Amino acid sequence: MRVYLDNAATTPIDPSVLEVMYKVMEENYGNPSSIHAHGREARSLVEKSRKTVAKLLNTSPSEIFFTSGGTEAHNAAIMGGISAYGIRHAITSRIEHHAILHTLEALARQGTVRLSFVNVDEKGRVDLRHLEQLLKDKGRSFVSLMHANNEIGTLLDIERTAGICGEYDALFHCDTVQTVGHYPLNLGRTKLHFMACAAHKLHGPKGVGFLYLNHEVKMPPFIYGGPQERNMRGGTENVYGIAGLARALEIACEHMDAHRQHIQGLKSYMAERLLEAIPGIQFNGPLNPSESLYTVLNVSFPPTEMAEMLLFNLDINGISASGGSACSSGSDVGSHVLTAIKADPERPAARFSFSKYTTKEEIDYTVEKLKELIRVIV
């Protein structure tokens, strides 16, 4: 039996998304920048996709810029926003994705910004009172915080965070890569300056995503070389990828409630089965659905002889998951997220992440294999 429980890393493409992409590749192969009929047809598809994305997020098509994925969108927002406004102070947390942390740390090393880290608790919840303290008397700041943590699933109250940032005139960039298509995002109501999406996290293709850039933000191009994406991102558009992204987001939004109910049920079921099957396990991040991304379950197992080989042995048994324990020393290459929330470095950890295609039978199989693999050290 093969079981795929690494959907936070990437998801399988929905068949109807593939159908759209195949058709575009076969019939709409023109360059969108060309003025002849083939080019105009491709341009029409790109703009139709942009309108679809904008409508689903309740924003204007002029605020959607297609990219190669989430990492490019994050880099564009951070580098462009800080540069355009001469911002000297940036705030993030130590549990952000490396696309955020490494970019901000590079700017800090260069002396471009002073970098502050907002406190998080043992469940990865951001201390918003500390955020407010960091924003006071610092001049205009750039804030980058994720909507849902990709490793432990902790959710951020983005409306409250946006309100705090607005009060102190900070630019707010939100990493929504794990939540676009999984939670309703209303950009007409929630004041974000930047947000990002990667299509492969919602059953779309790899290599395509978008940056939402609020119309109030004015910044230079993030890729020079051509007039594409309204002079903001040079380079021929990934037409079939963009069409696939739009279709994937359509499907996700149309069936959001049903998918959430199905996946949340599986997450809760697996948590219950693990508690019964393996004494001494701990969950990283909150389990309360109001505080936790329903697609992710992060588990620390008791210290075991199989600690170093847990993921390998899961793979041998046909189960794909991801993980990593907290770092126990500066030389360890472990999870920076688990380290930041002070998870026990002696405990092997695994992240199981689910999708609309995950089944209860797959959960049962995984729990039974984990029971066989986890041998507690006495």
Q: Which residue has the higher pLDDT, 367 or 137?
A: 367
The crossing angle, in degrees rounded to 10, of helices 256-277 and 239-254 is: 80
Q: Which residues pair with 146 in a beta bridge?
A: 175
pLDDT grade for 333, boundaries at 50, 70 and 90: low
Rounded distance, CA 337 to CA 71, Å? 18
- Which of 85, 172, 81, 167 minimizes the C-alpha distance to 126? 172
Residue 61 has pLDDT above 70, yes or no: yes
Residue 276 has pLDDT above 80, yes or no: yes
For residue 90, the model assigns a pLDDT of: 98
Residue 378 has pLDDT above 90, yes or no: no
DSSP-derived pairing of the beta strands 209-213 and 194-198: antiparallel
Average pLDDT of span 279-294: 95
- Overall pTM > 0.85: yes
Give Rg (Cα) of the chain.
21
Question: CA torsion sign, 151 to 155 to 156 to 158?
Answer: positive
Span 310-332, pLDDT tens digits: 888 999 999 999 986 555 444 45
Residue 236 has pLDDT above 50, yes or no: yes
- In whole angstroms, how far apart are CA 209 and each of 45, 153, 327, 336? 16, 21, 32, 25
SS3 279: coil
Q: Where do the structural domains in the chain lie, given as residue ranges? A: 3-11+255-373, 15-254
- By the 8 A CB rule, do 172 and 216 touch? no
pLDDT grade for 309, boundaries at 50, 70 and 90: confident
pLDDT grade for 370, boundaries at 50, 70 and 90: very high
Q: What is the mean pLDDT of the chain?
A: 94
Q: Which residues pair with 154 in a beta bridge?
A: 292
- By the 8 A CB rule, do 116 and 128 touch? no
Q: Look-up: residue for tokens 């309100």?
A: 163
Assigned architecture for domain 15-254: 3-Layer(aba) Sandwich (3.40)
For residue 16, the model assigns a pLDDT of: 98
Average pLDDT of span 177-203: 97
Rounded distance, CA 43 to CA 48, Å? 9
DSSP-derived pairing of the beta strands 209-213 and 319-320: unpaired
The crossing angle, in degrees rounded to 10, of helices 70-84 and 98-109 is: 30
For 190-257, the three-class secondary structure string (H helix, E strand, C coil) is CCCCEEEEEHHHHCCCCCCEEEEECCCCCCCCCECCCCHHHHCECCCCCHHHHHHHHHHHHHHHHCHH
174 is catalytic: no
Question: CA torsion sign, 308 to 310 to 313 to 315?
Answer: negative
Residue 112 has pLDDT above 60, yes or no: yes
Rounded distance, CA 20 to CA 27, Å? 11
Rounded distance, CA 121 to CA 152, Å? 12
Angle value at C-alpha 151, between 103 and 327, nearest 5 degrees: 80
For residue 377, the model assigns a pLDDT of: 43
Average pLDDT of span 16-44: 97
CATH class of 3-11+255-373: alpha beta
Span 124-167, pLDDT tens digits: 999 999 999 999 977 899 999 999 999 999 999 999 999 999 99
For residue 332, the model assigns a pLDDT of: 55
DSSP 308: G
- Can you spell out the DSSP letters for 159-173? HHHHHHHHHTT-EEE
SS3 184: coil
Catalytic one among 165, 174, 197, 327? 327
Give percent of the chain with pLDDT exceeding 90: 89
